[in-house]
Amino acid sequence: MTLREFISGELIDIIEWPDQTDTTMAWRFSRPQNEIKNGAQLIVRPAQAAMLIDEGRIADVYPPGRHELSTANMPVLSKLQGWKYGFASPFKADVLFVSTRQFVDQKWGTTNPVILRDAQLGPVRLRAYGTYAMRLVDPRKFVEQLSGTTAGFQTDQIVDQLRDLIVAKVSGVLAEGGISIYELSARYAEVGALVQQRVAPQFDQYGLTITQFVIENVSLPSEVEATLDQQTRMSMLRGQLDTYAQLQSADAIRDAARNPSGGAAAGVGIGMGAALGQRAVAAAAPPVPAVGAYEPPPLPSVRWYYAVGGERKGPVDQSALAVPGVLTPETLVWRHGMAGWTLAGQVPELAALFPPKR
């Protein structure tokens, strides 16, 4: 056995890529001095493709299966290297494997808010994010445009570029679609399908196809969302404001009664009770008749409330307060328009009831 025959027998004669990763898109088979033995077995696994590359030029491409590397099944490489009637082992060529499986759960999202004009809210800033899946469908184009003959090519080497392409299309679809923010969440699938259609040519230039596109969320700034929540609450209470106010007043009276601050709490409770009573009287009042139905009633006089022994009295006219013994300067009184319960002696309108002592 000559030295050349010994060396030839020692050369690798099984070429395969036992890929165990979820992120490798291309991988170059490594061997001593890039030499391949005549008749070597090329094993291409499912969801893979293999290429022979001669001095930077893509020669033959092999689908999944077992292939014996000989002149018969290397037509392009045979032509490039001038093998008309066969060749002597070994020969030099790069073997590059690419993965044609789907790469799922790829993330996309807006780095900065996208400014759009909403029909109802006007100019708004939106953030959006989601996932997509892609697959390598054109090994030649992928190698020529992206991976070359590098030792390996990972998804993270291209995802930033793909994300920017996707975000640009998402912004365009949202801007052109005229979809209200209030309706957008119900139309994620429709918008996603349109984005996938528009971004497909961008992926195709790299030999890729986008097989799935999902919009998970489109959101407004937190302060805008808080304002919308407040509007929703007001809409829910519309037509029930009197009931809501009465409930709030009742809660305030209860809390004041539990407050151990004494007279001040009692005064607050009486004031809230008076306000609640006035709302109840107003709610029970008969509707105002149409103009001209009959003579209007006299203008209402000022109605007063006063407290005796912690119990609210009234409403009464001011003339009733002038009855001797009803009021003292220290009696708490209140009428509509006053900020709170006040000592009668400190109310200018009641000063005439308490002439100065001589």
User: Is the pLDDT at 78 greater than 70, yes or no?
Assistant: no
Residue 48, amino acid? Q
Domain match, 169 and 197 both: yes
Closest residue by Cα to residue 166 from 211, 200, 208, 125: 200
User: Is the pLDDT at 101 greater than 90, yes or no?
Assistant: yes
Predicted confidence at residue 89, as pLDDT, reads 61
Copy the structure tokens of residue 52: 């022979």
Copy the structure tokens of residue 76: 């392009």
Closest residue by Cα to residue 210 from 156, 165, 269, 171: 165
The DSSP code sequence of 213-239 is: EEEEEEE--HHHHHHHHHHHHHHHHTT
Does residue 291 fall inside a structural domain? no
Taking the C-alpha atoms of residue 268 and residue 102, their distance in angstroms, rounded to an integer, is 70
Please count the structural domains in the chain: 3
- pTM exceeds 0.75: no
Domain match, 127 and 165 both: yes
Predicted confidence at residue 1, as pLDDT, reads 44
Domain match, 277 and 348 both: yes
Predicted confidence at residue 276, as pLDDT, reads 52
Taking the C-alpha atoms of residue 116 and residue 95, their distance in angstroms, rounded to an integer, is 49
Over pLDDT 90: what percentage of the chain?
Answer: 28
Higher-pLDDT residue of 119 and 155 is 155
**CATH number of the domain to which 190 belongs:** 3.30.479.30
Q: At what angle do helices 263-284 and 241-258 cross, to 10 degrees?
A: 160
Domain match, 37 and 124 both: no
